[in-house]
Amino acid sequence: MGSTLGRFKNSGKHEFCSIERKERKMRLKVVLEASDEGGYTVYVPSLPGCISEGETVEEALRNIQEAIELYLEPVEDDLILDETALVREIEL
Write the CA distances from 11 to 23, 51, 52, 83, integer angstroms: 30, 19, 20, 50
* pLDDT under 70: residue ranges of the chain: 1-24, 76-81
DSSP designation for 22? S
Radius of gyration of the chain from its Cα atoms, rounded to whole angstroms: 16
Domain layout of the chain by residue ranges = 3-78
Whether pTM exceeds 0.75: no
pLDDT at position 13 is 55
pLDDT at residue 35, as a whole number: 94
Judge contact between 57 and 39, C-beta under 8 A.
Answer: no
* Structure confidence at residue 1 (pLDDT): 42
What is the pLDDT at residue 91? 78
